[in-house]
């Protein structure tokens, strides 16, 4: 429990943090990777290069400083980050390294303001926050290990099937090398891969949404080839059926959670459909009787993964309606069969079908796409507690 003086000092540094902005976290990462290069095997360096990770960390540090006297408001963020950390197998000792570099960064960027009292207050504040994360992550590690078919750390899985689902997306069916069962998960959660192979400059941890309902036997993920993507390129080009991958347990705070009589609308753009597929698979497998809507947008038929599968499900389940947008259909794409509308997704065009009493809306895709979805749904008066979304990579609010 932090004392009043410590809280007062930390809150007094908020203007300093705001003036520094992401220069603070960019400096932090530079010095940490300089002095602890082994952490390059943990952090996604592409997110460093894009600026997304420094921006996400800055937002988290600023939010903590502003709410240090009421940390309960950060519970959702703590839960999300703790799940992410389990996917990197983060250990308590690594928090000591991060804390050291955070305090040194404050000293180096604001030497006049970084008095011993300020540094001590931030040391206490960071220690309290680290304790929260370490405790929650240990709970998650133990919960994963205790599940039927569960484990802790990495476990060897064999690529049983590698299937190209579209020009850019390939799915991988993974089965445990030890022949045992696998732990269940909540539809919408992701699987964590630890890639360590000759040809990779660093070990790479990546998280990919599970795209089928849990079955106790195997896991399926779908991976989009990203331009210049180290991990996605490795999986697409070098991993073959029969190869072994090291896998950490499923995790994630984005998952389906609805009553049996709740209408569900699943909205996706591009590869954002992967967690939606697990949700749909689960709902249909459970005989969900309430209305289900599948809304998807992509470039064209060549980029449309799992299209045939969704069409078959629609034909087999009368409570499932689908609507697909192609931004620029190709000559071979069939209207009313492959797609329903041309251009960008516009929910207002299907408002009369999907604005249902008590419905819950789950959506995932590129950030601008999700911002559009949230804006349109919110404009209809749908409460935030019925809107659920997942951001791939470092989290950003819409």
Catalytic residues: 95, 137
Q: Is 192 exposed, middle or buried (0-12, 13-18, 19+ CB in 10 A)?
A: buried
| Residue 53 marked ligand-binding | no
By residue count, the chain amounts to 398
85 annotated as ligand-binding: yes
Contacts of 161 (CB under 8 A, 6+ apart): 171, 172, 173, 241
Do the bridges between strand 360-364 and strand 387-390 make them parallel or antiparallel, or are there none, so unpaired?
Answer: parallel
Nearest to residue 17, comparing CAs of 94, 96, 118, 117?
118
Cβ neighbour number for residue 383 with a 10 Å cutoff? 8
205 annotated as ligand-binding:
no
378 labelled as ligand-binding? no
394 annotated ligand-binding residue: yes
Q: Is the dihedral of CA 154, 156, 160, 161 positive or negative?
A: positive
Cα distances (Å, whole numbers) of residue 349 to 295, 305, 346, 371: 12, 23, 6, 17
Distance (Å) of CA 118 to CA 7, 8, 103: 11, 10, 10
* Element holding 205 (H helix, E strand): strand 204-209
307 marked as binding residue: no
Q: Is 159 annotated as a binding residue?
A: no
207 is in an annotated binding site: yes
271 annotated to a ligand binding site: yes
Q: Is 273 annotated as a binding residue?
A: yes
What is the C-alpha separation between 35 and 20, in angstroms, rounded?
22
Cα separation, 208 vs 19, in Å, equals 35
268 is in an annotated binding site: no
239 is in an annotated binding site: no
Q: Is 363 annotated as a binding residue?
A: no
Cβ burial of 257 (10 Å; 0-12, 13-18, 19+) is: exposed
Instruction: Using the CB atoms, write b or e for 333-370: b if 16+ within 10 Å.
Output: beeeebbbbeeebebeebeeebbeeebbbbbbbeeebb
> Helix H segments across the chain?
4-12, 14-20, 22-35, 45-50, 52-66, 75-87, 92-109, 116-146, 230-237, 273-285, 307-316, 351-354, 367-379
Q: Is 391 annotated as a binding residue?
A: yes
Q: Which residue has the tokens 């969900």?
A: 288
- 292-298/204-209 β-pairing: unpaired
- Please tell me the distance from the alpha carbon of residue 220 to that of residue 278, in angstroms, as a whole number: 9
Annotated binding site: 85, 190, 206-209, 270-275, 391-394
User: Which residues define the annotated binding site for FAD?
Assistant: 190, 206-209, 391-394
Q: Name the binding residues for NADP(+).
A: 270-275
**Where is the binding site for heme b, in residues?**
85
């Amino acid at each position: 429990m932090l004392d009043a003086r410590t809280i007062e000092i930390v809150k007094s540094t908020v203007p300093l943090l705001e003036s520094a902005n992401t220069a603070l976290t960019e400096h932090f990462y530079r010095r940490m990777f300089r002095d602890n290069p082994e952490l390059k095997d943990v952090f996604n360096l592409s997110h460093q290069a894009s600026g997304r990770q420094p921006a996400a960390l800055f937002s988290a540090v600023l939010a903590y400083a502003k709410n240090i006297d009421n940390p309960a408001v950060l519970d959702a963020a703590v839960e999300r980050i703790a799940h992410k950390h389990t996917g990197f197998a983060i250990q308590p000792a690594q928090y000591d390294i991060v804390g050291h570099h955070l305090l040194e960064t404050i000293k180096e960027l604001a030497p006049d303001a970084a008095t011993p009292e300020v540094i001590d207050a931030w040391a206490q504040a960071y220690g309290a926050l680290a304790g929260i994360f370490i405790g929650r992550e240990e709970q998650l590690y133990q919960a994963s290990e205790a599940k039927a078919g569960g484990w802790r750390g990495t476990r060897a899985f064999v690529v049983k099937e590698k299937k190209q689902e579209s020009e850019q997306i390939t799915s991988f069916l993974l089965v445990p090398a030890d022949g045992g069962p696998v732990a269940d998960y909540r539809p919408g959660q992701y699987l964590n891969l630890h890639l360590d192979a000759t040809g990779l400059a660093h070990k790479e941890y990546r998280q990919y949404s599970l795209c089928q309902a849990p079955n106790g036997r195997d896991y399926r993920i779908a991976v989009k080839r990203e331009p210049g993507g180290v991990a996605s390129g490795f999986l697409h080009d070098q991993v073959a059926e029969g190869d072994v991958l090291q896998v950490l347990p499923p995790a994630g705070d984005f998952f389906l959670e609805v009553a049996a009589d709740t209408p569900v609308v699943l909205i996706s753009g591009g590869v954002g459909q992967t967690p939606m597929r697990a949700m749909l698979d689960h709902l249909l497998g459970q005989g969900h009787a309430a209305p289900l809507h599948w809304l998807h947008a992509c470039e064209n038929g060549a980029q449309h993964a799992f299209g045939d599968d969704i069409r078959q499900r629609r034909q087999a389940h009368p409570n499932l309606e689908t609507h697909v947008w192609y931004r620029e259909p190709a000559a071979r794409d069939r209207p009313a069969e492959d797609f329903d509308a041309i251009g960008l997704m516009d929910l207002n065009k299907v408002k009369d079908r999907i604005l249902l009493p008590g419905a819950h809306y789950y959506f995932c895709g590129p950030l601008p796409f999700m911002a559009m979805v949230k804006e349109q749904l919110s404009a209809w008066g749908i409460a935030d507690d019925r809107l659920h979304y997942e951001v791939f990579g470092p989290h950003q609010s819409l």
